[in-house]
């Protein structure tokens, strides 16, 4: 009888710890505020500075647009190419030295510059070499989509692209199909590229204060890594029904084994 009670007790403790708690699955919980209203959160977003391997979409317009044709890619690739492929072939990739090459204007050092600073740089070079102040030069520089990578416990892993100026970590994860129940939302890692190298930052997506983090907005070339919860390794199920089914199977096997041993 003691063996039965011990087995039941162990299985009961196993049952209590094997389910995924609801608090581990809900985004942006108000964990530290006792009031009914959620405090206003100040956005922590700074102008993005270009890094190596970024792809820039550059468009140059002048009063006589035919004079600017050579500066603007015409998209000679296949009409069936995806937006990502067109952005790659028509854009200007920042090389390992931090430069881009524009026809007639040679190389530009753009590493760690903002889009506005690059626009001013190109406009200045155009005025020095190609046009005069009466040409009414208009230059726009944008990132050719926010490119990032997702790895680990997320529904769609691999390279992802968002065609917008900026995006939060939640938008990036939603674009990749969301994090399943067995993914660890409390310690999502972001591997980010800087001029001095790479750094890893951790975010707790279950805490509303994550919106105050300087890493809440993703940057191009970010790698988002989601680790699995221990419940996935145990294989016990993500909710009470799945766990109960697993434990019932275990109890059946254990009981059958004990009865068989008693008969011997």
Splitting the chain (264 residues) into consecutive groups of 10 residues, what average pLDDT does each group show?
A: 52 54 84 60 73 91 82 64 76 93 88 95 90 86 92 95 91 96 94 90 94 92 94 58 58 64 66
Q: What is the pLDDT of residue 64?
A: 84
Distance between CA atoms of 242 and 232, rounded to whole angstroms? 12
Question: Residue ranges of the alpha helices (H) in 53-203?
Answer: 83-90, 115-129, 169-175
* pLDDT the model gives residue 101: 92
The pLDDT score that the predictor gives to residue 7 is 53
Q: Whose CA is closest to 44, among 174, 164, 189, 219? A: 219
**HSE of 258 in the Cβ direction (CA atoms, 13 Å)?**
14
What is the pTM (predicted TM-score) of this model? 0.74
CB neighbours of 263 closer than 8 A, spacing ≥ 6? none
Task: Round to whole Å and give the CA distance between 230 and 251.
Answer: 22
Residue 181: DSSP 8-state = T
Q: Any idea which residue has 């011997």 for tokens?
A: 264
User: Which helix (H) or strand (E) segment is 241 a member of?
Assistant: helix 240-263
């Amino acid at each position: 009888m003691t063996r039965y009670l011990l087995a039941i007790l162990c299985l009961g403790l196993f049952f209590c710890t094997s389910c995924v708690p609801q608090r581990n699955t809900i985004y942006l919980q108000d964990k530290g505020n006792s009031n009914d209203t959620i405090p206003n959160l100040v956005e922590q977003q700074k102008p993005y500075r270009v890094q190596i391997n970024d792809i820039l979409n550059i468009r140059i317009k002048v009063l006589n647009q035919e004079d600017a044709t050579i500066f603007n890619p015409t998209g000679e690739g296949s009409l069936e190419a995806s937006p990502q492929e067109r952005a790659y072939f028509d854009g200007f990739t920042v090389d390992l030295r931090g430069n881009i090459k524009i026809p007639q204007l040679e190389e530009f050092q753009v590493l760690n510059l903002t889009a506005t600073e690059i626009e001013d740089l190109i406009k200045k070079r155009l005025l020095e070499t190609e046009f005069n102040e009466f040409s009414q030069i208009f230059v726009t520089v944008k990132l050719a989509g926010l490119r990032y990578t997702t790895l680990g416990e997320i529904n769609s892993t691999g390279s992802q692209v968002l065609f917008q100026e900026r995006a939060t970590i939640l938008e990036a994860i939603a674009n990749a199909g969301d994090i399943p129940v067995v993914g660890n939302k409390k310690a999502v890692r972001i591997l980010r590229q800087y001029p001095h190298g790479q750094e890893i930052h951790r975010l707790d997506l279950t805490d509303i204060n994550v919106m105050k983090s300087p890493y809440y907005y993703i940057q191009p070339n970010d790698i988002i890594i989601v680790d699995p919860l221990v419940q996935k390794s145990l294989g016990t199920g993500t909710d009470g029904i799945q766990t109960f089914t697993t434990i019932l199977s275990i109890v059946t096997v254990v009981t059958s084994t004990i009865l068989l041993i008693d008969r011997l």
